[in-house]
Amino acid sequence: MPAPTWNLADLFEAVVDLVGDREAVVTDHERVTYAGLDARANRLAHLLASLGVGPGDRVGVVLRNGSEHLEAVLASYKLRAIPFNVNYRYTENEMRYLLDDARPRVVLHGPELDPAVGPAVEQLTRAGERVTALVGRGPDHEARLGEHPPVRPPVAGRSGDDLYLLYTGGTTGMPKGVEWRHEDILFAALGAAGGVAVAHADAEPPSTPTELVERARRGGIRAVTASPFIHGTAQWVALGTLLAGGTVVTTRSSTFVAADLWDLVEAEAGTVVVIVGDAFGRPLADALTAEPDRWDLGSVVAVVSGGAVLSPAVRDELAAHLPWVAVVDGYGTSETGGQGNAVTWPGQPTTRAARFPLGGHTAVLDEDGTPLLGGIDTGRIGLIARRGHIPLGYRNDPEHTRATFPVIDGERWAVPGDVGRVEDDGTVTLLGRGASCINTGGEKVFPDEVEAVLKAHPDVFDAAVVGVPDDRWGERVAAVVAPRPGRTPSDADLDEHCRAHLAAYKVPRTVVTVAEVRRLPSGKADHAWLRATAAAPTPPRSDETTPRTPS
Protein backbone atom coordinates (compact mmCIF):
# COMPACT_ATOMS: atom_id res chain seq x y z
CA MET A 1 0.00 0.00 0.00
CA PRO A 2 1.38 3.48 -0.85
CA ALA A 3 2.20 5.87 1.97
CA PRO A 4 -0.93 7.58 3.33
CA THR A 5 -1.74 11.23 2.77
CA TRP A 6 -3.42 13.64 5.19
CA ASN A 7 -6.69 12.07 4.10
CA LEU A 8 -9.11 10.51 6.58
CA ALA A 9 -9.73 7.39 4.47
CA ASP A 10 -6.02 6.90 3.76
CA LEU A 11 -5.13 7.23 7.42
CA PHE A 12 -7.90 4.93 8.61
CA GLU A 13 -6.92 2.22 6.13
CA ALA A 14 -3.27 2.51 7.20
CA VAL A 15 -4.30 2.06 10.85
CA VAL A 16 -6.39 -0.99 9.87
CA ASP A 17 -3.34 -2.53 8.18
CA LEU A 18 -1.41 -1.98 11.40
CA VAL A 19 -3.91 -3.12 14.06
CA GLY A 20 -6.61 -5.01 12.13
CA ASP A 21 -7.41 -7.51 14.90
CA ARG A 22 -7.93 -4.83 17.56
CA GLU A 23 -11.44 -3.80 18.66
CA ALA A 24 -12.53 -0.66 16.85
CA VAL A 25 -16.15 -0.15 17.92
CA VAL A 26 -18.25 -1.59 20.73
CA THR A 27 -21.97 -0.78 20.54
CA ASP A 28 -24.02 -2.10 23.47
CA HIS A 29 -21.39 -4.87 23.79
CA GLU A 30 -21.53 -5.74 20.04
CA ARG A 31 -17.93 -5.79 18.84
CA VAL A 32 -16.34 -4.90 15.50
CA THR A 33 -12.60 -5.11 14.86
CA TYR A 34 -10.67 -2.67 12.72
CA ALA A 35 -10.54 -5.20 9.90
CA GLY A 36 -14.26 -5.86 10.26
CA LEU A 37 -15.10 -2.13 10.29
CA ASP A 38 -12.97 -1.63 7.17
CA ALA A 39 -14.64 -4.53 5.35
CA ARG A 40 -18.13 -3.28 6.16
CA ALA A 41 -17.21 0.28 5.12
CA ASN A 42 -15.82 -1.13 1.85
CA ARG A 43 -19.07 -2.98 1.13
CA LEU A 44 -21.04 0.20 1.82
CA ALA A 45 -18.70 2.23 -0.39
CA HIS A 46 -19.42 -0.13 -3.31
CA LEU A 47 -23.14 0.17 -2.59
CA LEU A 48 -22.96 3.96 -2.53
CA ALA A 49 -20.94 3.98 -5.77
CA SER A 50 -23.64 1.84 -7.41
CA LEU A 51 -26.10 4.65 -6.54
CA GLY A 52 -23.92 7.23 -8.26
CA VAL A 53 -21.90 8.53 -5.32
CA GLY A 54 -18.45 9.76 -6.34
CA PRO A 55 -15.87 12.44 -5.52
CA GLY A 56 -17.47 15.63 -4.23
CA ASP A 57 -20.95 14.14 -3.76
CA ARG A 58 -22.57 14.54 -0.38
CA VAL A 59 -23.99 11.73 1.75
CA GLY A 60 -26.40 12.53 4.58
CA VAL A 61 -26.00 10.40 7.71
CA VAL A 62 -29.15 10.28 9.87
CA LEU A 63 -28.21 7.33 12.06
CA ARG A 64 -27.99 6.76 15.78
CA ASN A 65 -24.68 5.83 17.37
CA GLY A 66 -23.15 2.53 16.38
CA SER A 67 -20.72 1.02 13.91
CA GLU A 68 -23.23 1.67 11.08
CA HIS A 69 -22.87 5.43 11.58
CA LEU A 70 -19.08 5.30 11.46
CA GLU A 71 -19.17 2.91 8.48
CA ALA A 72 -21.29 5.44 6.56
CA VAL A 73 -18.78 8.22 7.29
CA LEU A 74 -15.74 6.09 6.39
CA ALA A 75 -17.36 4.63 3.26
CA SER A 76 -18.03 8.14 1.99
CA TYR A 77 -14.44 9.24 2.58
CA LYS A 78 -13.19 6.16 0.74
CA LEU A 79 -15.06 7.41 -2.36
CA ARG A 80 -13.83 11.00 -1.85
CA ALA A 81 -17.46 11.86 -1.12
CA ILE A 82 -18.51 14.21 1.69
CA PRO A 83 -20.61 12.76 4.52
CA PHE A 84 -22.51 15.20 6.72
CA ASN A 85 -24.36 14.90 10.00
CA VAL A 86 -28.16 15.18 10.16
CA ASN A 87 -29.94 15.38 13.50
CA TYR A 88 -32.40 12.49 13.72
CA ARG A 89 -34.58 14.60 16.03
CA TYR A 90 -35.32 17.14 13.29
CA THR A 91 -38.89 17.82 12.30
CA GLU A 92 -39.96 17.45 8.67
CA ASN A 93 -39.43 21.18 8.02
CA GLU A 94 -35.97 21.20 9.60
CA MET A 95 -35.03 18.12 7.59
CA ARG A 96 -36.23 19.80 4.38
CA TYR A 97 -34.12 22.88 5.12
CA LEU A 98 -30.90 21.00 5.82
CA LEU A 99 -31.14 18.57 2.91
CA ASP A 100 -32.02 21.41 0.56
CA ASP A 101 -28.85 23.19 1.71
CA ALA A 102 -26.61 20.11 1.49
CA ARG A 103 -28.07 18.60 -1.74
CA PRO A 104 -26.98 14.99 -1.02
CA ARG A 105 -26.81 12.15 -3.54
CA VAL A 106 -27.77 9.60 -0.84
CA VAL A 107 -29.33 9.90 2.62
CA LEU A 108 -28.61 6.97 4.93
CA HIS A 109 -31.15 6.88 7.74
CA GLY A 110 -32.55 4.72 10.48
CA PRO A 111 -35.67 2.69 9.64
CA GLU A 112 -37.73 4.74 12.10
CA LEU A 113 -37.01 8.04 10.32
CA ASP A 114 -38.97 7.61 7.09
CA PRO A 115 -41.66 10.15 8.16
CA ALA A 116 -39.10 12.96 8.39
CA VAL A 117 -36.60 11.92 5.71
CA GLY A 118 -39.05 10.77 3.01
CA PRO A 119 -40.83 14.10 2.36
CA ALA A 120 -37.54 16.02 2.36
CA VAL A 121 -36.05 13.67 -0.23
CA GLU A 122 -39.23 13.83 -2.31
CA GLN A 123 -38.97 17.63 -2.32
CA LEU A 124 -35.41 17.44 -3.68
CA THR A 125 -36.47 14.91 -6.30
CA ARG A 126 -39.29 17.16 -7.51
CA ALA A 127 -36.76 20.00 -7.77
CA GLY A 128 -34.71 17.88 -10.18
CA GLU A 129 -32.11 16.53 -7.75
CA ARG A 130 -30.95 12.93 -8.07
CA VAL A 131 -31.15 11.69 -4.49
CA THR A 132 -31.81 8.32 -2.87
CA ALA A 133 -33.10 7.71 0.66
CA LEU A 134 -31.62 4.45 1.95
CA VAL A 135 -32.24 2.67 5.25
CA GLY A 136 -28.76 2.34 6.77
CA ARG A 137 -29.34 -0.13 9.59
CA GLY A 138 -31.18 -3.43 10.07
CA PRO A 139 -31.81 -6.67 8.12
CA ASP A 140 -32.46 -5.03 4.74
CA HIS A 141 -29.28 -2.99 5.08
CA GLU A 142 -27.26 -6.10 5.95
CA ALA A 143 -28.70 -7.91 2.91
CA ARG A 144 -27.67 -5.06 0.61
CA LEU A 145 -24.16 -4.97 2.07
CA GLY A 146 -23.85 -8.70 1.43
CA GLU A 147 -24.29 -8.09 -2.28
CA HIS A 148 -21.04 -6.10 -2.48
CA PRO A 149 -17.40 -7.10 -1.98
CA PRO A 150 -15.43 -6.31 1.20
CA VAL A 151 -12.39 -5.09 -0.77
CA ARG A 152 -11.37 -1.46 -0.83
CA PRO A 153 -12.80 0.48 -3.78
CA PRO A 154 -10.16 1.74 -6.25
CA VAL A 155 -10.37 5.53 -5.96
CA ALA A 156 -7.63 7.81 -7.25
CA GLY A 157 -6.71 11.27 -6.07
CA ARG A 158 -7.44 11.12 -2.33
CA SER A 159 -5.59 13.86 -0.50
CA GLY A 160 -5.70 16.23 2.43
CA ASP A 161 -7.65 18.63 0.24
CA ASP A 162 -10.74 16.39 0.25
CA LEU A 163 -13.65 17.93 2.11
CA TYR A 164 -15.09 17.37 5.57
CA LEU A 165 -18.54 18.86 6.29
CA LEU A 166 -20.05 19.42 9.73
CA TYR A 167 -23.41 21.08 10.27
CA THR A 168 -23.50 23.19 13.41
CA GLY A 169 -26.01 22.42 16.16
CA GLY A 170 -28.12 25.47 15.37
CA THR A 171 -28.68 26.68 18.96
CA THR A 172 -30.08 29.85 17.39
CA GLY A 173 -31.59 29.73 13.92
CA MET A 174 -30.99 27.02 11.36
CA PRO A 175 -27.67 25.13 11.29
CA LYS A 176 -24.89 26.07 8.90
CA GLY A 177 -22.55 23.63 7.17
CA VAL A 178 -18.90 24.22 8.08
CA GLU A 179 -16.55 23.02 5.32
CA TRP A 180 -13.02 21.91 6.18
CA ARG A 181 -10.14 20.30 4.34
CA HIS A 182 -9.25 16.86 5.73
CA GLU A 183 -5.77 18.03 6.68
CA ASP A 184 -7.10 21.03 8.57
CA ILE A 185 -9.72 19.09 10.57
CA LEU A 186 -7.06 16.49 11.44
CA PHE A 187 -4.83 19.07 13.07
CA ALA A 188 -7.63 21.24 14.48
CA ALA A 189 -9.92 18.60 16.02
CA LEU A 190 -8.92 14.97 15.49
CA GLY A 191 -5.79 14.81 17.59
CA ALA A 192 -3.02 15.23 15.02
CA ALA A 193 -1.79 18.25 16.98
CA GLY A 194 -2.60 16.83 20.40
CA GLY A 195 -5.70 19.00 20.62
CA VAL A 196 -8.17 16.23 21.46
CA ALA A 197 -7.69 14.75 24.90
CA VAL A 198 -8.68 11.23 23.88
CA ALA A 199 -6.31 10.99 20.93
CA HIS A 200 -2.57 11.61 21.08
CA ALA A 201 -0.80 12.91 24.15
CA ASP A 202 2.38 13.65 22.18
CA ALA A 203 3.70 17.14 22.70
CA GLU A 204 4.78 17.54 19.08
CA PRO A 205 2.47 17.15 16.06
CA PRO A 206 3.46 14.42 13.60
CA SER A 207 5.50 15.64 10.65
CA THR A 208 4.16 13.03 8.22
CA PRO A 209 0.98 10.95 7.86
CA THR A 210 3.04 7.81 8.39
CA GLU A 211 4.26 9.13 11.74
CA LEU A 212 0.65 9.75 12.77
CA VAL A 213 -0.32 6.19 11.84
CA GLU A 214 2.62 4.69 13.72
CA ARG A 215 1.31 6.20 16.94
CA ALA A 216 -1.73 3.92 16.62
CA ARG A 217 0.45 0.96 17.63
CA ARG A 218 0.13 2.07 21.25
CA GLY A 219 -3.68 2.01 21.32
CA GLY A 220 -5.08 1.54 24.81
CA ILE A 221 -7.73 4.28 24.56
CA ARG A 222 -11.29 3.12 25.21
CA ALA A 223 -13.41 6.21 24.69
CA VAL A 224 -17.00 5.97 25.94
CA THR A 225 -19.12 8.56 24.13
CA ALA A 226 -22.30 9.69 25.86
CA SER A 227 -23.47 12.09 23.15
CA PRO A 228 -24.63 11.36 19.58
CA PHE A 229 -22.24 11.09 16.63
CA ILE A 230 -24.49 13.59 14.83
CA HIS A 231 -22.76 16.29 16.92
CA GLY A 232 -19.23 17.49 16.51
CA THR A 233 -17.88 16.52 19.94
CA ALA A 234 -18.76 12.83 19.67
CA GLN A 235 -17.88 12.64 15.98
CA TRP A 236 -14.45 14.16 16.54
CA VAL A 237 -13.80 11.88 19.49
CA ALA A 238 -14.85 8.80 17.49
CA LEU A 239 -12.71 9.62 14.46
CA GLY A 240 -9.78 10.75 16.60
CA THR A 241 -9.97 7.53 18.61
CA LEU A 242 -10.00 5.35 15.48
CA LEU A 243 -7.00 7.18 14.04
CA ALA A 244 -5.22 6.64 17.37
CA GLY A 245 -5.83 2.86 17.26
CA GLY A 246 -8.24 2.97 20.20
CA THR A 247 -11.75 1.64 20.76
CA VAL A 248 -14.97 3.65 20.48
CA VAL A 249 -17.56 2.48 23.03
CA THR A 250 -21.12 3.69 22.63
CA THR A 251 -24.82 2.85 22.77
CA ARG A 252 -27.60 3.11 20.19
CA SER A 253 -30.03 4.47 22.75
CA SER A 254 -30.94 8.11 22.19
CA THR A 255 -32.09 8.44 25.82
CA PHE A 256 -29.32 9.35 28.24
CA VAL A 257 -29.50 7.50 31.56
CA ALA A 258 -26.52 8.19 33.82
CA ALA A 259 -26.58 4.81 35.57
CA ASP A 260 -26.65 3.00 32.22
CA LEU A 261 -23.61 4.93 31.06
CA TRP A 262 -21.65 4.07 34.21
CA ASP A 263 -22.71 0.43 33.67
CA LEU A 264 -21.23 0.57 30.18
CA VAL A 265 -18.04 2.27 31.37
CA GLU A 266 -17.54 -0.42 34.02
CA ALA A 267 -18.35 -3.38 31.76
CA GLU A 268 -16.12 -2.16 28.93
CA ALA A 269 -13.28 -0.82 31.11
CA GLY A 270 -13.60 2.62 29.58
CA THR A 271 -10.58 4.85 30.03
CA VAL A 272 -12.08 8.14 28.84
CA VAL A 273 -15.71 9.22 29.30
CA VAL A 274 -16.76 11.89 26.83
CA ILE A 275 -19.73 14.13 27.69
CA VAL A 276 -21.21 17.51 26.74
CA GLY A 277 -21.42 19.92 29.67
CA ASP A 278 -23.67 19.81 32.71
CA ALA A 279 -26.57 18.17 30.84
CA PHE A 280 -24.52 14.97 31.05
CA GLY A 281 -22.14 15.82 33.90
CA ARG A 282 -24.75 16.66 36.55
CA PRO A 283 -26.73 13.39 36.21
CA LEU A 284 -23.47 11.40 36.17
CA ALA A 285 -22.32 13.08 39.38
CA ASP A 286 -25.74 12.58 40.99
CA ALA A 287 -25.70 8.88 40.10
CA LEU A 288 -22.37 8.51 41.90
CA THR A 289 -23.78 10.36 44.91
CA ALA A 290 -26.83 8.09 45.06
CA GLU A 291 -24.85 4.84 44.69
CA PRO A 292 -21.21 5.54 45.51
CA ASP A 293 -20.26 1.87 45.82
CA ARG A 294 -22.15 0.48 42.82
CA TRP A 295 -19.47 0.80 40.13
CA ASP A 296 -15.81 -0.13 39.82
CA LEU A 297 -14.53 2.73 37.68
CA GLY A 298 -10.82 2.21 38.28
CA SER A 299 -10.16 2.00 34.54
CA VAL A 300 -11.19 5.61 33.98
CA VAL A 301 -8.39 8.14 33.67
CA ALA A 302 -10.33 11.16 32.36
CA VAL A 303 -13.82 12.62 32.04
CA VAL A 304 -13.81 14.99 29.08
CA SER A 305 -16.48 17.58 28.29
CA GLY A 306 -16.63 19.22 24.88
CA GLY A 307 -19.24 21.36 23.18
CA ALA A 308 -20.42 22.95 26.43
CA VAL A 309 -18.41 24.03 29.46
CA LEU A 310 -18.85 22.24 32.78
CA SER A 311 -19.92 24.48 35.64
CA PRO A 312 -17.37 24.64 38.48
CA ALA A 313 -19.84 22.88 40.83
CA VAL A 314 -20.22 19.87 38.52
CA ARG A 315 -16.48 19.73 37.85
CA ASP A 316 -15.83 19.60 41.59
CA GLU A 317 -18.49 16.94 42.19
CA LEU A 318 -17.02 14.66 39.53
CA ALA A 319 -13.51 15.25 40.87
CA ALA A 320 -14.67 14.44 44.41
CA HIS A 321 -16.31 11.17 43.36
CA LEU A 322 -13.43 10.14 41.09
CA PRO A 323 -10.35 11.55 42.86
CA TRP A 324 -7.91 9.65 40.61
CA VAL A 325 -9.45 11.03 37.40
CA ALA A 326 -8.63 14.19 35.43
CA VAL A 327 -11.78 16.22 34.67
CA VAL A 328 -11.20 18.04 31.40
CA ASP A 329 -13.14 20.94 29.93
CA GLY A 330 -12.33 20.98 26.21
CA TYR A 331 -13.01 24.30 24.55
CA GLY A 332 -13.66 24.69 20.83
CA THR A 333 -16.33 25.29 18.22
CA SER A 334 -17.45 23.83 14.90
CA GLU A 335 -15.61 26.72 13.23
CA THR A 336 -12.31 26.34 15.11
CA GLY A 337 -11.84 22.77 16.28
CA GLY A 338 -10.25 22.24 19.69
CA GLN A 339 -8.67 25.37 21.15
CA GLY A 340 -7.71 24.48 24.70
CA ASN A 341 -8.31 22.25 27.71
CA ALA A 342 -8.95 23.31 31.31
CA VAL A 343 -7.99 20.37 33.52
CA THR A 344 -8.96 19.67 37.11
CA TRP A 345 -6.21 17.27 38.11
CA PRO A 346 -6.72 14.50 40.67
CA GLY A 347 -6.68 15.88 44.19
CA GLN A 348 -6.85 19.48 43.03
CA PRO A 349 -10.51 20.46 42.53
CA THR A 350 -11.22 24.10 41.88
CA THR A 351 -14.39 26.15 42.05
CA ARG A 352 -13.24 29.00 39.83
CA ALA A 353 -14.59 29.47 36.31
CA ALA A 354 -12.82 27.48 33.64
CA ARG A 355 -9.63 29.19 32.47
CA PHE A 356 -8.21 27.83 29.25
CA PRO A 357 -4.53 27.84 28.35
CA LEU A 358 -4.74 28.64 24.65
CA GLY A 359 -2.38 27.21 22.05
CA GLY A 360 -0.15 29.12 19.67
CA HIS A 361 -2.80 29.30 16.96
CA THR A 362 -5.42 30.84 19.27
CA ALA A 363 -5.68 34.41 20.50
CA VAL A 364 -8.12 36.90 22.01
CA LEU A 365 -8.61 39.80 19.60
CA ASP A 366 -9.60 43.33 20.55
CA GLU A 367 -12.04 45.41 18.51
CA ASP A 368 -9.26 46.26 16.03
CA GLY A 369 -8.24 42.62 15.54
CA THR A 370 -5.07 42.96 17.63
CA PRO A 371 -4.18 39.95 19.84
CA LEU A 372 -4.38 40.70 23.56
CA LEU A 373 -1.49 39.54 25.76
CA GLY A 374 -1.56 38.07 29.26
CA GLY A 375 0.18 40.26 31.83
CA ILE A 376 -0.10 43.32 29.58
CA ASP A 377 -3.80 43.18 28.72
CA THR A 378 -4.98 41.44 31.90
CA GLY A 379 -8.70 41.89 32.45
CA ARG A 380 -9.47 42.99 28.92
CA ILE A 381 -12.25 41.26 27.01
CA GLY A 382 -12.22 40.29 23.35
CA LEU A 383 -13.23 37.70 20.77
CA ILE A 384 -11.55 34.30 20.88
CA ALA A 385 -10.09 33.47 17.47
CA ARG A 386 -7.98 30.84 15.73
CA ARG A 387 -5.67 30.92 12.74
CA GLY A 388 -3.74 28.24 10.88
CA HIS A 389 -5.80 25.07 10.42
CA ILE A 390 -9.29 26.56 10.07
CA PRO A 391 -12.29 25.85 7.82
CA LEU A 392 -12.77 27.03 4.25
CA GLY A 393 -16.05 28.60 5.34
CA TYR A 394 -19.79 27.99 5.48
CA ARG A 395 -21.45 26.06 2.69
CA ASN A 396 -23.66 28.24 0.48
CA ASP A 397 -23.15 31.28 2.72
CA PRO A 398 -20.45 33.70 1.51
CA GLU A 399 -21.76 36.56 3.67
CA HIS A 400 -21.40 34.68 6.98
CA THR A 401 -18.13 33.18 5.75
CA ARG A 402 -16.63 36.65 5.27
CA ALA A 403 -17.88 37.75 8.70
CA THR A 404 -16.71 34.69 10.64
CA PHE A 405 -13.43 34.12 8.78
CA PRO A 406 -11.99 37.62 8.30
CA VAL A 407 -8.56 38.42 6.93
CA ILE A 408 -6.70 40.64 9.40
CA ASP A 409 -3.28 42.06 8.44
CA GLY A 410 -3.01 39.47 5.69
CA GLU A 411 -3.83 36.50 7.92
CA ARG A 412 -7.12 34.56 7.89
CA TRP A 413 -8.81 33.95 11.26
CA ALA A 414 -11.83 32.00 12.49
CA VAL A 415 -13.85 34.25 14.83
CA PRO A 416 -17.12 32.47 15.68
CA GLY A 417 -18.19 34.98 18.33
CA ASP A 418 -17.10 33.53 21.69
CA VAL A 419 -15.93 36.15 24.17
CA GLY A 420 -13.05 35.71 26.62
CA ARG A 421 -11.23 37.68 29.30
CA VAL A 422 -7.44 37.66 29.34
CA GLU A 423 -5.92 36.68 32.70
CA ASP A 424 -2.53 37.62 34.09
CA ASP A 425 -1.06 34.14 33.50
CA GLY A 426 -1.97 34.13 29.81
CA THR A 427 -5.00 31.92 30.22
CA VAL A 428 -8.45 32.99 29.08
CA THR A 429 -11.73 32.85 30.99
CA LEU A 430 -14.52 31.92 28.60
CA LEU A 431 -17.48 34.28 29.06
CA GLY A 432 -19.79 32.87 26.40
CA ARG A 433 -21.08 33.69 22.95
CA GLY A 434 -21.13 37.43 22.34
CA ALA A 435 -24.51 37.21 20.62
CA SER A 436 -26.05 35.92 23.86
CA CYS A 437 -24.62 38.73 25.98
CA ILE A 438 -27.35 40.58 27.91
CA ASN A 439 -27.28 44.40 27.85
CA THR A 440 -29.14 45.54 30.95
CA GLY A 441 -29.05 49.27 31.55
CA GLY A 442 -25.76 49.52 29.67
CA GLU A 443 -24.09 46.77 31.72
CA LYS A 444 -22.97 43.59 29.95
CA VAL A 445 -23.92 40.25 31.49
CA PHE A 446 -22.71 36.93 30.11
CA PRO A 447 -25.24 34.14 30.79
CA ASP A 448 -22.56 31.47 31.34
CA GLU A 449 -21.25 33.28 34.42
CA VAL A 450 -24.70 33.54 36.01
CA GLU A 451 -25.60 29.95 35.13
CA ALA A 452 -22.45 28.66 36.84
CA VAL A 453 -23.40 30.47 40.06
CA LEU A 454 -26.99 29.19 39.99
CA LYS A 455 -25.84 25.61 39.42
CA ALA A 456 -23.62 25.85 42.48
CA HIS A 457 -26.70 26.26 44.69
CA PRO A 458 -27.31 22.92 46.47
CA ASP A 459 -31.01 22.87 45.52
CA VAL A 460 -30.50 23.56 41.80
CA PHE A 461 -30.15 20.72 39.31
CA ASP A 462 -29.94 22.79 36.12
CA ALA A 463 -30.26 26.41 35.04
CA ALA A 464 -30.20 28.54 31.92
CA VAL A 465 -30.05 32.33 31.67
CA VAL A 466 -31.26 34.68 28.96
CA GLY A 467 -32.11 38.34 28.51
CA VAL A 468 -35.78 39.31 28.19
CA PRO A 469 -37.23 42.71 27.20
CA ASP A 470 -37.57 45.25 30.02
CA ASP A 471 -39.19 48.69 29.74
CA ARG A 472 -36.71 50.32 32.09
CA TRP A 473 -33.40 48.51 31.48
CA GLY A 474 -33.84 47.41 27.86
CA GLU A 475 -33.17 43.83 28.94
CA ARG A 476 -33.28 42.13 32.31
CA VAL A 477 -31.53 38.96 33.39
CA ALA A 478 -33.95 36.03 33.53
CA ALA A 479 -33.21 32.54 34.80
CA VAL A 480 -35.01 29.28 34.11
CA VAL A 481 -34.24 26.89 36.95
CA ALA A 482 -34.88 23.18 37.44
CA PRO A 483 -34.64 22.21 41.15
CA ARG A 484 -33.19 18.97 42.38
CA PRO A 485 -35.82 16.30 43.10
CA GLY A 486 -37.63 17.07 46.36
CA ARG A 487 -36.09 20.55 46.64
CA THR A 488 -37.88 23.89 46.26
CA PRO A 489 -35.41 26.79 46.38
CA SER A 490 -37.23 30.06 46.92
CA ASP A 491 -36.57 33.19 44.91
CA ALA A 492 -35.15 34.77 48.05
CA ASP A 493 -32.71 31.87 48.54
CA LEU A 494 -31.50 32.09 44.95
CA ASP A 495 -31.24 35.85 45.12
CA GLU A 496 -29.14 35.74 48.30
CA HIS A 497 -26.92 33.03 46.81
CA CYS A 498 -26.35 34.98 43.59
CA ARG A 499 -25.64 38.27 45.37
CA ALA A 500 -22.88 36.56 47.34
CA HIS A 501 -21.06 35.75 44.08
CA LEU A 502 -22.20 38.30 41.48
CA ALA A 503 -22.48 42.04 41.05
CA ALA A 504 -26.05 43.20 41.67
CA TYR A 505 -26.78 43.94 38.02
CA LYS A 506 -25.98 40.31 37.11
CA VAL A 507 -28.45 38.80 39.58
CA PRO A 508 -31.57 37.38 37.85
CA ARG A 509 -34.60 39.62 38.34
CA THR A 510 -36.93 36.99 36.91
CA VAL A 511 -36.78 33.34 37.95
CA VAL A 512 -38.98 30.74 36.28
CA THR A 513 -39.06 27.29 37.88
CA VAL A 514 -39.52 24.31 35.57
CA ALA A 515 -39.37 20.54 35.96
CA GLU A 516 -36.61 20.32 33.34
CA VAL A 517 -34.48 22.78 31.40
CA ARG A 518 -35.00 21.79 27.81
CA ARG A 519 -31.76 21.13 25.99
CA LEU A 520 -30.72 20.00 22.54
CA PRO A 521 -29.13 16.55 22.12
CA SER A 522 -25.77 18.33 22.13
CA GLY A 523 -26.38 19.42 25.73
CA LYS A 524 -26.79 23.08 24.80
CA ALA A 525 -29.89 24.98 25.85
CA ASP A 526 -32.81 25.10 23.44
CA HIS A 527 -32.73 28.87 22.99
CA ALA A 528 -36.13 29.21 21.33
CA TRP A 529 -37.77 27.37 24.24
CA LEU A 530 -35.63 29.24 26.78
CA ARG A 531 -36.63 32.68 25.54
CA ALA A 532 -40.31 31.77 25.36
CA THR A 533 -40.26 30.29 28.86
CA ALA A 534 -38.29 33.16 30.41
CA ALA A 535 -40.51 35.76 28.77
CA ALA A 536 -43.74 34.19 30.06
CA PRO A 537 -45.81 36.67 32.08
CA THR A 538 -44.02 36.37 35.41
CA PRO A 539 -43.56 39.63 37.33
CA PRO A 540 -39.88 40.47 37.79
CA ARG A 541 -38.53 41.11 41.26
CA SER A 542 -38.65 44.80 42.09
CA ASP A 543 -35.88 44.83 44.68
CA GLU A 544 -33.24 46.13 42.29
CA THR A 545 -31.66 49.02 44.18
CA THR A 546 -28.23 49.33 42.61
CA PRO A 547 -28.23 52.29 40.20
CA ARG A 548 -26.91 51.54 36.75
CA THR A 549 -25.23 53.87 34.33
CA PRO A 550 -24.43 53.08 30.71
CA SER A 551 -20.91 51.78 30.26
pLDDT tens string for the chain (551 positions)?
678 999 999 999 999 999 999 999 999 989 999 999 999 999 999 999 999 999 999 999 999 999 999 999 999 999 999 999 998 888 788 899 999 999 999 999 999 988 889 999 999 999 999 999 999 999 999 999 999 999 999 999 999 999 999 998 654 467 899 999 999 999 999 986 554 444 444 457 899 999 999 999 998 899 999 889 998 989 999 999 999 999 999 999 888 999 999 999 999 999 999 998 888 999 999 999 999 999 999 999 999 998 777 888 889 899 999 999 999 988 888 999 988 888 888 877 665 666 788 777 889 999 888 988 877 888 898 999 999 999 999 999 999 999 999 999 999 999 998 888 898 888 888 887 776 888 887 777 888 889 889 999 999 999 999 988 887 777 899 999 999 999 989 999 999 999 988 888 899 999 999 999 998 766 678 878 988 998 876 555 544 433 333 22
Same domain, 376 and 525: no
Q: Which of 216, 250, 266 is the last residue of a domain?
A: 216
Q: Is residue 247 part of a domain?
A: no
Same domain, 528 and 405: no
Domain limits for position 56: 8-216
Same domain, 389 and 525: no
* Angstrom distances, CA of residue 15 to CA of 30, 77, 145, 208: 21, 15, 23, 14
Q: Write the pLDDT tens digit of every residue in 106-149.
A: 999 999 988 889 999 999 999 999 999 999 999 999 999 999 99
Same domain, 124 and 37: yes
pLDDT at 196: 45
Residues 153, 320: Cα–Cα separation, whole Å: 50
pLDDT at 544: 42
Residues 367, 264: Cα–Cα separation, whole Å: 47
Q: What is the DSSP string of 423-472?
A: -TTS-EEEEEEGGG-EEETTEEE-HHHHHHHHHTSTTEEEEEEEEEEETT
Residues 416, 435: Cα–Cα separation, whole Å: 10
Rg over CA atoms, the chain: 23
Q: Hey, which residues does 326 pair with through a beta bridge?
A: 302
Q: Write the pLDDT tens digit of every residue in 222-270.
A: 999 988 999 898 999 999 999 999 999 999 988 899 999 999 999 999 9
Number of domains into which the chain is organized: 3
Q: Which residue stretches of 51-181 are H helix? A: 67-78, 92-102, 114-126, 139-146
Q: Is residue 324 part of a domain?
A: no
Residues 498, 489: Cα–Cα separation, whole Å: 13
Same domain, 470 and 388: no
pLDDT at 200: 46
**388, burial (CB in 10 Å: exposed 0-12, middle 13-18, buried 19+):** middle
Q: Is residue 453 part of a domain?
A: yes
- Indicate if the alpha-carbon torsion angle 333, 335, 340, 341 is positive or negative: positive
Q: Is residue 264 part of a domain?
A: no
Tell me the whole-structure pTM to 2 decimals. 0.85
**190, burial (CB in 10 Å: exposed 0-12, middle 13-18, buried 19+):** buried
Q: Which of 165, 181, 216 is the last residue of a domain?
A: 216
Measured N-to-C along each axis, helices 312-321 and 447-455 cross at an angle, to the nearest 10 degrees, of 40
Same domain, 503 and 422: no
Same domain, 61 and 198: yes
Same domain, 32 and 173: yes
Give the DSSP letter of residue 164. Answer: E
Q: Is residue 151 part of a domain?
A: yes
Q: Is residue 244 part of a domain?
A: no
- CATH number for position 392: 2.30.38.10
Same domain, 146 and 209: yes
Residues 158, 347: Cα–Cα separation, whole Å: 47
**Residue 212, H or E segment:** helix 209-214
Q: Is residue 166 part of a domain?
A: yes
Q: Which of 216, 236, 251 is the last residue of a domain?
A: 216
Same domain, 418 and 489: no
Same domain, 396 and 528: no
Q: Is residue 274 part of a domain?
A: no
Same domain, 27 and 145: yes
